[in-house]
Amino acid sequence: MPKDSGIGAASKRREDLRFLTGGGRYTDDINLNGQTYVYFLRSDVAHGRIKSIDTAAASAMPGVVRIFTGADFEGVGTIPCGWQVTDREGNPMKEPAHPILAQGKVRHVGDPIAAVVAESLSAARDAAEAIEVDIEELPAVIDMKKALAAGAPKVHDDLADNLCYDWGFVEDNRAAVDEAIKKAAHVTTLELVNQRLAPNAMEPRVAVGDYNKGTDESTLYTTSQNPHVIRLLMGAFVLGIPEHKLRVIAPDVGGGFGSKIFHYAEEAFCTFAAKAIKRPVKWTSSRSEAFMSDAHGRDHVTKIELALDKDNNFTAIRTETYANMGAYLSTFAPSVPTWLHGTLMAGNYKTPLIYVNVKAVFTNTVPVDAYRGAGRPEATFQLERVIDKAARELGVDPVELRRQNFVTEFPYQTPVAVQYDTGDYNATMDKLMEMIDRKGFDARAAESKKRGKLRGLGINSYIEACGIAPSQLVGQLGARAGLYESATVRVNATGGLVVMTGSHSHGQGHETSFAQVVADMIGIPENMVEIVHGDTANTPMGMGTYGSRSLAVGGSAMVRATEKIIAKAKKIAAHLMEASEADIELKDGQFSVAGTDKSVAWGDVTLAAYVPHNYPLDEIEPGLEETAFYDPSNFTYPAGAYACEVEVDPDTGKVEIMAFAAADDFGNIVNPMIVDGQVHGGIGQGIGQALLEGVSYDENGQILSASYMDYAMPRADDLPFYKVDHSCQTPCTHNPLGVKGCGEAGAIGSPPAVVNAVVDALNRGGHAVTHIDMPLSPHRVWQAMQG
Amino acid sequence: MYNFDFTRPSSIKDAVAAIGAGGQALSGGQTLIPTMKARLAMPETLVSLTGIQEMKGICTNDAGQICIGAATTHAEVAREVAKSYPALSDLAGHIGDPAVRNRGTIGGSLANNDPSACYPSAVLGSGAIVKTNAREIAADDFFQGMFTTALEEGEIITEVKFPVPQKANYQKFVQPASRFALVGVFVAKFADGVRVAVTGASGEGVFRWTEAEAALSKDFSAAALDGVAAPSADGMISDLHGTGAYRAHLVKVMTARAVAAA
Ligand SMILES: Cc1cc2nc3c(=O)[nH]c(=O)nc-3n(C[C@H](O)[C@H](O)[C@H](O)COP(=O)(O)OP(=O)(O)OC[C@H]3O[C@@H](n4cnc5c(N)ncnc54)[C@H](O)[C@@H]3O)c2cc1C
C-alpha cells in the first residue's frame, strides 16, 4: 500500500500552487524604494585591448546616476575561484584574475566593460550606447588545441600560455595503464566532443543590491542556488564586507541547473554600487545577455581507449580530455573536468586500471562551469559510447558486454579514488529489460522499415557520485570550502515546526519532500511543517543545492536536528508523565510510556517547552529548537540503466525518439512523484543535449547560437512519454535516510542512450557509422550517412 | 526599445499618408517588435494597420480567387481557408506558435520576405497577386531576394489574391531552433501546369524550382522527380543548421513529399 503522507508518499508539491498561479516571489519581483537600474555594456569582440573608455557624453544623459568602469574597481577584489586543482607535476593550476569590470583587456564576447546606473533601464541602455570605447581587437583563441599551440595568442598576458592545468589521475597508474593497453587483446578507441551548452534556466539571473547607511549593512537579493556561499565568496574575497554586515537572499528561483551556483560579477557589482551611490541597484539579465554571461556547461574534447582481454573483460581505460575553461575561472570550473569527471571513469565496471588526463584550457569564450551532472555526464558519455563501439567491433551483445564487466561486490574500491558503498547494476538492467521489450525490437524495426524509417535501440548504464561531499576528502582534492549541510528545527509552542535549511530549492520541491521527512519522524501531518530556505539571515550556514546533495546531505542534517528535538521532547514527556525517559515512545505524534496506557500529545509537550510551569528546568532548558550540521562520510552512488529507441528518417537525417526507459536506483525514496519529475526533467535535458542544443562560436569568437533563433531547446513535442522506474533500491549505507539523490541522473544517463540508438539505427540501415558528435541534428545525421 | 509615437488609422488612405509622413507600418508586430526590442530598428512613428477594416478578412471573388486582407492573422487564415484551400490553411497553421499566429499577419510576412518564412512560398507557388495601395504585383515580380520586395517606399500591401489550384501541398522541414523553414516547398497543380516554390533554402529567398515544375507538369507524381537532379547547392544558405548541399538535397526530398501528399 503506498503511503498517503510522510516518507514514501507521493505528496503533491505544495510550492506549485504559488508557482503556477503567479504567487511566487522571484528576485525580479523585488523592487526597493529609490531603486536604480544597471545596464552592462558588454564587449562585442572576443579579445581586445581597451585603449580608452569615454563616459563623458553618456554621463550627461538624462536619468544617469553614475557610470562605472574597471577603474572604479582598482583595489577591490576579483571574482574568486572555489577549487584549486594541482597538476601532474604537483603545481597549482594557473589562476588569472577575474575583474568585476574589464581591466585593460576584454576576453570574451559579453565581458562587461562598463556599467551604467540610471533611473530606468532604458535610460541606462541609452547612455550605454553613448559610451565611447576604443578597443584594439586582438586575434582570439576559440579552439582548445589551437589555444595550446606554440605562439597562440594569450588570453591572459601574465600567464605563460593558455594551459590552466595538465592533470593526471591517477598519475601513479599511468605506466601500468599504458602497459595494459599495449598488451590488450583488443583496444577500442573513440574520439568525441561533449559540446558546450548554455544553461537556459527559465528565470534569467537577477541581482538587487541594497545598502543601509544607518546600520552599514549590505543586502544582496540574487538568483542563487547557495546564498551562504555567495555571502562568503563575495564578502570575504571580493568586497571585504564581513559576513555579519552582509545578508544574501535568494528567494524563489526559477531553475538553476548549476548556472546559479557560481558567484558572478554582476552580484558583486550591484552590492558594491549600492553602497557607492547609497541607493538600491537592480540588474535583470535579458535572455540575450544570459547567452553570453551565464557560465556555460560541458565543452570537452576527448579521446578514450578501452582495452579488453581475449574474454572481453575490461582491462584498462585511458582518456585524454581537453576541457574548456573559457576566459576566466568560474567558481567551481576547475573541479568539473577533474574530480567530478576523472573519479567516475570506472562507471559501473570493474576495470582494474584507469588513467585520466585532462588539460584545462583558457579560450576567448564565456567561462564554463558545472551544468546538471557536471563532469559525470561527460564521463558517462565517453564510457558508454566506447563500450557500445567495442561491442560492435567484437560482435558481442552490448548488454552482455556490460553485464560481464559490472561491479557486483560492494563496497567496491575503484582505481579512481572513490569507493562505491552499494549498488546492484544487474538489478536495474533486469528491470530495464522488463520495461523495454527488447525481444520485440526486431518486429518494430521491420515495421519501421516498411515506413521507410531506420529503427535503432541504445542501451547503457550510468553511475554518478552525488551527495557532495565529505569535507575532509574534498579539502584534500583542492576544494576551498567544506561541503556539509545544516538545518535548524524550530518547534513552536503550538506544535508546528519551521525547518530552516542551508539547502536551497529552485524547483526541486524541497518544501514538500523535506516536510514529509520531518513530519514522518514525529508522526504529525505534513502541513504542520514549514520549510524555510534562501536567506542567510534566518538559515544556518549551508552550502546550498547542487550535485543532487540536498536530501542526502541537507536532509540528513534535518534528520539529525529532528532527532535532537525528539530526544529533548521525550525528556519533557517523561517529566510530564512522571516516567523514565528510557520508557518513552513516540508514535503518530503521541508520547506514551511503554507498557502503560499513559500518554501525552506532541502539542502538550511543545507547549510545556515554551510555558515551562511544570518542567524539569534543573535538567533542561526551556524551548525546543535544535541545529545540526551533517558532513557525509562518503559520496552516494545512484546508478541505473537507460534505453532509448529511435527512428531515423534516412532521407532527411531527422531523429525521432519512439520510446525512452529509465531504471534508476536512488536508494530510498521520499516522494516518488517528485523523483519521477526530476528524472523526467533530467532526461529532457539529456535529450536536449543529444539532439538539439549546442553553443557554437565562429573562429573570431562570435557566438553563432546566441538566441533561441539558433540555440535549440527541447520542446514538449521533441520528447516522448518516458517510462521511469525506481523500484530497484539499494539504500545508501552511510546517511540516515538511505537516500542517494536523483536530480542529475536523467541528464547523465540519457545522452549515450540516444546516441547509441541512432548509431545502431544507422548501422542496421547499412551505414557503417561509428560515431556522430552531439547534437545529432538532422544535418549531422544525414551527413554521417553520406559517408 | 527606443521611444516612438503610435497611430492607428482606420483607412488605407490615412495609413499611407501617415507612412508617407515618415511612419513605419506595424501589422502583427511579430517581426518588427522583437527587432525594436533588440534596438535594431528605431522607427519614430508606428502606424498600426490593425484598425483598418478593409485590410482584414477573407472572401472569394468572382474569378474564384481567395482574397485575404493583408492584416489578416495567420490563425484566421488557418481557420477560414481550411476547406477552400487546405494547403494554405496548413501552412498558416504551422507558422510559429499560437501567440505568433494570433497576431502575425500575411501582409507583414510578405513585406518582410524573410528567406525562411513560409508564406512567400505559398504566394509564389500559387502565382498569387499582391495588391497594394497603388497597384497589383504578380508574385513572380514581388519577391526580389532576401528581405527585399517590389514594394516602393511608403507602399503597403492591402490584399493578397490566391488562385486556387486543383491540388497543392506545403512541406516544411523545420530548423530545429527557430522552427522557421530550414527548407519549405509549396507545390501547386493547376490546369495549365505545376508550380514549385521553395523557401528557406536559397540566399536569394523564395524561388521557383523550374526543373521540377517541368517534370511535374508532365507527370504529377513523386516518381517524376526521380530523373530530376536536386537544385545546385551554389547560392544555398549554409549555416549552423545545414550546409547548402544539405538544403539542396532537402529541396528534392520535400518536393517529392509535397507531391505525394497533395
Ligand atoms: C516565435 C516566432 C516564430 C515564428 N515562426 C515563423 C514560421 O515558422 N514561419 C514564418 O513564416 N514566420 C514565422 N514567424 C514570423 C511571423 O510569421 C511574423 O508574424 C511575420 O513574419 C510578420 O508579420 P507581422 O504581421 O507580425 O508583421 P510586423 O512585425 O508588424 O511587420 C514586419 C515588417 O513588415 C512591414 N509591414 C507590415 N505590414 C505591412 C503591410 N501590410 N505592407 C507593407 N509593409 C508591412 C513592417 O513595417 C515591418 O517592416 C515567427 C515569428 C515569431 C516571433
Overall domain count for chain A: 3
**What distance lies between CA A615 and its chain's CA centroid?**
47
pLDDT at A1: 53
Domains of chain B: 5-162 (3.30.465.10), 167-261 (3.30.390.50)
Q: Is A90 exposed, middle or buried (0-12, 13-18, 19+ CB in 10 A)?
A: exposed
Residue A604 neighbours by CB under 8 Å, 6+ apart = A576
Residues with CB under 6 A from ligand 1: B 24-32, 49, 70, 95-96, 100, 104-105, 107-109, 111-112, 114, 117-119, 151, 156-157, 179-180
As a residue count, chain A comes to 787
Looking at the complex, report in whole angstroms how far the Cα of residue A712 sits from the nearest Cα belonging to chain B.
4
ipTM summary value: 0.96
Distance between CA atoms of A518 and A557, rounded to whole angstroms?
11
Distance between CA atoms of A332 and A237, rounded to whole angstroms?
15
Contact B176 A709 (CB under 8 A): no
pLDDT at A327: 98
Alpha-carbon distances of A257 from A22, A204, A252, A643, A743, rounded to whole Å: 22, 12, 14, 23, 9
Residue A517 within any structural domain of the chain: yes
Distance between CA atoms of A761 and A765, rounded to whole angstroms?
6
SS3 B30: coil
Residue A658 sits in the same domain as residue A515: no
Distance between CA atoms of A710 and A198, rounded to whole angstroms?
12
Residue A309 sits in the same domain as residue A398: yes
**What distance lies between CA B90 and its chain's CA centroid?**
13
* Contact with chain B for residue A288, Cβ under 8 A: yes
Distance between CA atoms of A685 and A743, rounded to whole angstroms?
11
Q: How many CB pairs under 8 A join A and B?
A: 46
| Percent with pLDDT over 70 in chain B | 100
Which chain B residues are closer than 8 Å to A692 by Cβ?
A: 176-177
Q: What is the amino acid identity at position A247? A: R
Distance between CA atoms of A770 and A756, rounded to whole angstroms?
10
Mean pLDDT of chain A: 97
Which of A128, A777, A557 has the alpha carbon at shortest distance from B239? A777
Return the best residue to mutate from B45, B100, B157 for the ligand 1 pocket (most ligand atoms within 8 A of CB).
B100
Contact B246 A710 (CB under 8 A): no
- Which of A588, A614, A630 is the endpoint of a domain? A630
Residue A613 sits in the same domain as residue A654: no
Residue A462 sits in the same domain as residue A506: no
Which of A652, A712, A782 lies closest to B177 in CB terms?
A: A712
Q: Are A239 and A219 in contact (CB under 8 A)?
A: no
Distance between CA atoms of A223 and A250, rounded to whole angstroms?
6
Distance between CA atoms of A440 and A454, rounded to whole angstroms?
15
Contact B173 A125 (CB under 8 A): no
- Ligand 1 atom with the shortest distance to the CA of B151: 43
- Which of A241, A260, A284 is the endpoint of a domain? A284
CATH number at residue A511: 3.30.365.10
Contact B1 A122 (CB under 8 A): yes
pLDDT, tens only, B57-108:
999 999 999 999 999 999 999 999 999 999 999 999 999 999 999 999 999 9
Residue A644 neighbours by CB under 8 Å, 6+ apart = A457, A458, A657, A659, A660, A661, A750, A753, A754, A756, A757
Residue A478 within any structural domain of the chain: no
Residue A5 within any structural domain of the chain: no
Parent domain of A237: 31-138+205-284
Q: Which residues pair with B138 in a beta bridge?
A: B129
Residue A641 sits in the same domain as residue A625: no
Residue A557 sits in the same domain as residue A673: no
Residue A650 sits in the same domain as residue A754: yes
Which chain A residues are closer than 8 Å to B237 by Cβ?
A: none
* Contact with chain B for residue A782, Cβ under 8 A: yes
Q: Are A165 and A93 in contact (CB under 8 A)?
A: yes
Which of B2, B39, B177 lies closest to A710 in CB terms?
A: B177
pLDDT at A3: 82
Q: Phi and psi (nearest 5°) for B254?
A: -70, -35
Quickly list DSSP for A187-236: EEEEEEEEEEE----SSPPEEEEEEETTTTEEEEEE--S-HHHHHHIIII
Contacting B residues, span 177-196, partner chain A, CB-CB under 8 Å? 177-178, 182
Residue B190's H or E segment, with its range, is strand B181-190
Residue A771 within any structural domain of the chain: yes
Ranges of residues in chain A whose predicted pLDDT is under 70: 1-2
User: Taking the CB of residue A604, how many other CB atoms lie within 10 A of it?
Assistant: 17
* Contact with chain B for residue A773, Cβ under 8 A: no
pLDDT at A787: 84
Residue A425 sits in the same domain as residue A315: yes
pLDDT, tens only, A252-301:
999 999 999 999 999 999 999 999 999 999 999 999 999 999 999 999 99
Distance between CA atoms of A52 and A31, rounded to whole angstroms?
35
Enter the pTM of the model: 0.97
Contact A652 B177 (CB under 8 A): no
SS3 B248: helix
Residue A569 sits in the same domain as residue A687: no
Confidence band, pLDDT 50/70/90 cuts, at residue B1: confident
Which residue has its alpha carbon closest to ligand 1 atom 11?
B117
Residue A129 sits in the same domain as residue A220: yes
Residue A247 within any structural domain of the chain: yes
* Contact with chain A for residue B4, Cβ under 8 A: no
Q: Which residues pair with A248 in a beta bridge?
A: A220
Residue A542 within any structural domain of the chain: yes
CATH number at residue A39: 3.90.1170.50
- Which of A237, A256, A284 is the endpoint of a domain? A284
Q: Which three cell numbers stand for residue A523?
A: 508522526
Distance (angstroms) between ligand 1 centre and the Cα of B60 equals 24
Contact B243 A288 (CB under 8 A): no
Residue A78 sits in the same domain as residue A225: yes
Which of A15, A1, A6, A12 has the alpha carbon at shortest distance from A670? A6
Distance (angstroms) between ligand 1 centre and the Cα of A364 equals 36
- Ligand 1 atom with the shortest distance to the CA of B179: 8
Which of A442, A412, A485, A595 has the alpha carbon at shortest distance from A226? A485
Determine the average pLDDT of the residues in B19-30.
Answer: 97
Which chain B residues are closer than 8 Å to A713 by Cβ?
A: 177
**What distance lies between CA B108 and its chain's CA centroid?**
9
Q: What is the amino acid identity at position B231? A: P
Reply yes or no: is the peptide bond before residue A112 cis, omega within 30 of 0.
no
pLDDT at A2: 64
Residue A315 sits in the same domain as residue A396: yes
Q: Is the pLDDT of residue B175 over 60?
A: yes
Return the best residue to mutate from B16, B26, B30 for the ligand 1 pocket (most ligand atoms within 8 A of CB).
B30
Residue A694 within any structural domain of the chain: yes
Determine the average pLDDT of the residues in B114-124.
Answer: 98
Q: Are A493 and A609 in contact (CB under 8 A)?
A: yes
Which of B115, B125, B141 has the alpha carbon at shortest distance from B241? B115
Q: Are A546 and A607 in contact (CB under 8 A)?
A: no
Distance between CA atoms of B132 and B155, rounded to whole angstroms?
7
Which of B208, B184, B216 has the alpha carbon at shortest distance from B90? B184
What is the 3 state secondary structure string of A479-530?
ECCCCCEEEEEEECCCCCEEEEECCCCCCCCHHHHHHHHHHHHHCCCHHHEE
Which of B176, B249, B253 lies closest to A692 in CB terms?
A: B176
Residue A86 within any structural domain of the chain: yes
Residue A277 neighbours by CB under 8 Å, 6+ apart = A36, A65, A66, A117
Q: Which residues pair with A190 in a beta bridge?
A: A304
Q: Phi and psi (nearest 5°) for B50?
A: -80, -10
